[in-house]
């Protein structure tokens, strides 16, 4: 479950990098793996085993990524390849969870998105052993929102009586 949350956060972060015009240039065809260009096959190689099982809209999103890929900086390309490999390792159920978490993150107000992004960066800065420990923890019950998407209620303020207004001495005006 933690891996799914991590993937959802990574997809949310990546979505902010994608120019909207690149998505509009793709037609809604559903090619088989053999119909992809050699460049697309190279970029999308981690998805090859599952490609022909993907829904047409998912294929188009991945193809859009493959089209933008050559213009990306090398560090972005490396990150994309790692994310695709992680995504390919997820079970269909974990992918569904990641998609739902991505949708819920996308609907958050900007300040909550910033909080999630900060928490993600904090998680990424943890040593690999600590991240492995967190990933090994049991998942939250089904239907529960991950902690990254919720915040604790503000502390209740103790009600204190309002002091009475000062009284002016007799014979003076306030």
Over its length of 174 residues, how does the chain's per-residue pLDDT go in tens digits? 555 555 555 555 555 444 444 444 444 568 999 999 999 999 999 999 989 988 999 999 999 999 999 999 999 999 999 999 999 899 989 989 999 998 999 899 999 999 988 998 998 899 989 888 888 887 665 455 554 444 444 454 444 555 555 555 565 555
Tell me the two tokens of residue 16. Answer: 């902010």
Kind plus residue range of the DSSP H or E element containing 11: helix 2-15
Please give the pLDDT value at position 132.
Answer: 85
DSSP secondary structure letters along 130-152: HHHHHHHSPPPPTTPPPGGG--P
Under 8 Å between Cβ of 67 and 26: yes
User: What residue segments make up the domains of the chain, in order of their start?
Assistant: 2-18+36-137
Query: What radius of gyration, in Å, describes the C-alpha atoms of the chain?
Result: 24
Looking at the whole model, is its pTM more than 0.85? Answer: no
Tell me the two tokens of residue 49. Answer: 């085993």
């Amino acid at each position: 479950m933690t891996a799914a949350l991590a993937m959802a956060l990574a997809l949310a972060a990546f979505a902010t990098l994608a120019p909207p015009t690149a998505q509009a240039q793709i037609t809604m065809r559903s090619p088989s793996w053999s119909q992809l260009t050699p460049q697309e096959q190279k970029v999308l190689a981690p998805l090859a085993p599952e490609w022909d099982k993907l829904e047409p809209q998912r294929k188009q999103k991945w193809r859009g990524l493959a089209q933008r890929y050559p213009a990306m900086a090398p560090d972005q390309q490396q990150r994309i390849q790692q994310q695709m490999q992680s995504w390919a390792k997820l079970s269909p159920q974990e992918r569904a969870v990641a998609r739902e978490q991505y949708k819920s993150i996308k609907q958050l107000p900007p300040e909550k998105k910033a909080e999630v992004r900060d928490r993600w960066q904090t998680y990424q800065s943890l040593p690999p052993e600590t991240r492995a420990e967190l990933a090994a923890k049991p998942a939250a019950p089904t239907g529960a929102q991950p902690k990254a998407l919720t915040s604790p209620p503000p502390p209740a303020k103790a009600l204190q009586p309002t002091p009475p207004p000062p009284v002016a001495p007799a014979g003076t005006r306030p």
